[in-house]
Amino acid sequence: MVIDIHVHTRAIPGPNRKATGQTYATPEQLIEMYDEVGIDRAVILPGVTPECAFHIQSLQEVLSICERYPDRFIPFCNIDPRQVSNSPDADLGYLMEYYRDAGCKGIGELTANLYFDDPLVENLFAHAERVGLPVTFHVATQKGGTYGLIDDLNLPRFEAAVAKFPDLVFLCHSQAFWSEISGDVTEESRGGYPSGPVTEGGKAAELIRENPNVYGDLSAGSGFNAISRDPEFGYSFLEECQDKLLFGTDVCAPKNRDDVLVNLKNFMDDALKQGNISRTVYDKVMYQNAERLLGL
C-alpha cells in the first residue's frame, strides 16, 4: 500500500499554469501514473486561493472526483482565511464542519500570502483545531509576488503557531520549510533547494522532532531534496521520525511526473531494498502514518 498525501487535479482542465506550461493532471491521468509506479491512493488538495491558482477550484468538484473514484482519492477541503467576511471573527468552522461531514479529512493546501500570525490565519487555525482537521500549508519567504503563508528565517512565526495551537496537526511542506532541515540555511537559500551535507541545528528537523502536532509532508522537490541531498542523514531522519513523516508527490501536471513522483518513490524503494531503512519505517512513511492521521 502507498498513499500520496499531497496531489492536485482538475476534472475539467483550465488555463495552463505558467510554471509548467500545462494545466493540472486529470484524475484519470493521475490514476494512470499511479498504476505505473505502484501508488494506491492520494489526498486531493483543492486550489482555492488566487495567489496560487490560475483556475479556482470548487470543493464540490473535489468531492465529485472522490465519489467517482472512492478507492483512489481522499478529499481535503480548502478554506481561504479571507473567506466569509475577510474578518478574524469569521465563522470558518461552519464551513469546515460541513466539509468534514461530507468526507473531507483535512484542510489545505493553505497558500494565502498572509503571515502565519495574521489574525485571519490564526482564526483559521483556531477553527481547524476545534473541528479536528489537520492543515497542510505552503511557506512563503515574502509578501507579494508569490504564494504561501509567510515566515522569516528559522520559522519563528510558525513555531509560535505550533505552541499556540497544540491540538492542531500541521502537515509541513514547501521549499521554505524543507530548506530548514539544515542548520546552515540562509536568507538567500531558504526559498530554494540547497545541496550538500545537512548540518545540525535545522529548525524543520527540530520542530518535527519536538512537537507532537508537527508532521513532515515529503512531497515535491523540496521534500525529496530534504532527505536525498545527504542520504546518510536522510536514512537516519526517516528512522528517527518514522511516525511523523508522510510520502507525497505534489504532481501538478503530467510532465512533472518523474520530477516529483518517481524520484521520491524510487528513493524510498531503493532505501528499503538496500537495507538503509527497515520495512517498518517504509510502511509507516508510505501509508500507515497517513491512515492513522486521517482515520482511514
**Digit-coded pLDDT (tens) for 55-93:** 889 999 999 999 999 999 999 999 999 999 999 999 999
- Round to whole Å and give the CA distance between 139 and 149: 5
pLDDT at 256 exceeding the cut of 70 = no
What pTM was estimated for this model as a whole? Answer: 0.96
Least confident of 49-58, 150-159, 169-178: 49-58
16 within a domain of the structure (yes/no): no
pLDDT value at position 89? Answer: 97
Tell me how crowded residue 209 is: count the other CB atoms within 10 A of its CB: 13
pLDDT value at position 185? Answer: 97
Q: Residue 109: name the closest of 270, 292, 249, 234 by CA.
A: 249
Confidence of residue 257 (pLDDT cuts 50, 70, 90): low
109 within a domain of the structure (yes/no): yes
Confidence of residue 260 (pLDDT cuts 50, 70, 90): low
Confidence of residue 258 (pLDDT cuts 50, 70, 90): low
1 within a domain of the structure (yes/no): no
- Give me the number of domains the chain comprises: 1
Question: Which residues have C-beta within 8 Å of that of residue 132, sequence separation ≥ 6?
Answer: 100
Least confident of 44-48, 50-54, 161-165, 252-256: 252-256
pLDDT value at position 281? Answer: 98
Element (H, E) at 36: helix 27-37
Question: Which residues have C-beta within 8 Å of that of residue 78, sequence separation ≥ 6?
Answer: 45, 46, 47, 48, 49, 57, 59, 107, 108, 109, 110
Compute the C-alpha angle 47/52/54, nearest 5°: 80
pLDDT value at position 29? Answer: 93
53 within a domain of the structure (yes/no): no
Confidence of residue 204 (pLDDT cuts 50, 70, 90): very high
Sign of CA dihedral 174, 215, 46, 87: negative
pLDDT value at position 21? Answer: 76
47 within a domain of the structure (yes/no): no
- Round to whole Å and give the CA distance between 173 and 186: 18
Length of the chain in terms of residues written: 296
73 within a domain of the structure (yes/no): no
192 within a domain of the structure (yes/no): yes
What is the residue range of 242's domain? 81-294
9 within a domain of the structure (yes/no): no
Confidence of residue 23 (pLDDT cuts 50, 70, 90): confident
In the predicted model, what is the mean pLDDT of residues 93-104?
98
Question: Which residues have C-beta within 8 Å of that of residue 36, sequence separation ≥ 6?
Answer: none
Tell me how crowded residue 30 is: count the other CB atoms within 10 A of its CB: 27
